[in-house]
Structure 1
């Protein structure tokens, strides 16, 4: 139709991974940009608004993209289906069940906090059989200084059927013995 519309996204010409989205300007909101960029498989989406000129829009959004990719590291904890831990099973055909990651467990952390990341596995055990594969049984809890705590579900890696009569009698006997020992007075 003979109409040519130039692209006003200044980031597309830079080598910072920008691939879109929308620029705009109104008298009330000033110059703005809703953008998207990808580096090393990590995508960011950002919004800048209230800028005073096209030049400021370019410099501020370029700085924002460089900061976002430079200030955070992707930390991978476990691949999908990786066994994270084994949980004790109560009256099951097997004494333990693997706790697995239902998807890749990863998160972005501030680069300066990377070495201070602490992770722990939490579940209420022993877990009573029967247990179905894929059933949520616990969590990987990740703590990063000055950030909200992150929780990732951990699921049963296999089915565990309820144990037979001998298994149940053995479990009940061990429980009764352990409770009796706990009730004994301490020796000095």
Structure 2
């Protein structure tokens, strides 16, 4: 099977007013080495700078730890009331003796999953992470294997985890801003009942009251979720989401030089994203936007359609010309059912990916029999080599 591509020049599909010259939109410049800013509703990438570069996630690893627990809760493998024991290992490595962020779980006690999640998310407890890992996985090592299995299943191709906390030493533990943004959006969309924990202002355990350890909360920039990592070999890092005027943005950054810069750049970049873009509908749900070649069918192609509305955020001033690319693995073998996988449709502004969405077949194509397959085989042998593919 080959990957086929087709280019669509979308300037022809939109009202000309979209592309009339106007005042130049504000250009974002930042000294932060790696940044990714995404609009949640459309998936539009508003700003990207070294977003696929690998970095050590440190405590941001706990987003993956939380996702594994959320998934187990959703599948009723455990319940919020399930009790897990506090082992000596969890207490020493992540509890009061460790000198790291902790929920202060007492050694040899038991703690409910719902309380451990608050310890993990609200106060960034390393003991919480290890207790959850040992409780669900049997050991932190086994749980880490599960983290990697979940990451792979979710498509987080740049991520690998070796512990549940992000504490060093953790040779080989890595991720990318792309993967972290994807994970954050997945948590927000899939587990809304647990997402609220990321904005919970405080948590008390063992008579120790602690405020939420995310320094970006309460800064007047409408942030209501996710985490920040302290200085390490990658500098400061942050994953944040904020909502304003019925729009939600997700921001990921790493390589920041100081806590002060992290707060300032988070506020500035989010404000830029909210102020300078507006939503434009490109295609309605079910819109026909191309065809995929079919091998051995009663017809030589099948129409492709969008699954959901395709919308993007474009600069309010001087929006760019967009191009689209359809990419699918083909030709499709007949018979082809309506609603079958039809590849992806990617929108570009210049060479920058703006958004990528799935496509499905809009019609069924029946098997054309031996004569149809013979003719298609002849065509493929004689002409297939000149098609543009990769």
Q: TM-score range by the shorter chain?
A: 0.5 to 0.7
Partner of 2:242: 38
The alignment's TM-score, normalised by the length of structure 2, stands at 0.32
Quote how far apart the aligned CAs of 1:147 are: 1.6
1:55-79 per-residue CA deviation (whole Å, 9 max, x = no partner) reads: x443232112212334455554334
The alignment's TM-score, normalised by the length of structure 1, stands at 0.55
- Structure 1 distance, partners of 2:354, 2:231, is 40
1:72-97 per-residue CA deviation (whole Å, 9 max, x = no partner) reads: 55554334433335679898667974
Partner of 2:283: 78
Judged with a 3 Å threshold, the aligned counterparts in structure 2 of structure 1 residues 26 and 121 are, in CA distance, closer, same or farther, namely closer
**Equivalent runs, 1:142-157 vs 2, <5 Å:** 142-148=347-353, 152-157=357-362
Question: Is the helix fraction higher in 1 or 2?
Answer: 2
Does residue 6 (structure 1) correspond to residue 220 (structure 2)? The answer is no
Judged with a 3 Å threshold, the aligned counterparts in structure 2 of structure 1 residues 45 and 121 are, in CA distance, closer, same or farther, namely closer
Partner of 2:364: 159
Partner of 2:339: 134
Structure exhibiting the larger radius of gyration computed from Cα positions: 1
Quote how far apart the aligned CAs of 1:44 are: 0.5
Judged with a 3 Å threshold, the aligned counterparts in structure 2 of structure 1 residues 76 and 42 are, in CA distance, closer, same or farther, namely farther
Quote how far apart the aligned CAs of 1:138 are: 6.5
Does residue 62 (structure 1) correspond to residue 267 (structure 2)? The answer is yes
CA contact (8 A) 2:251 2:270 kept: no
Gaps of 5+ in 1: 172-188
- Structure 2 distance, partners of 1:150, 1:65, is 19
Judged with a 3 Å threshold, the aligned counterparts in structure 2 of structure 1 residues 141 and 18 are, in CA distance, closer, same or farther, namely closer
Aligned to 2:265, what secondary structure does the other structure show? helix
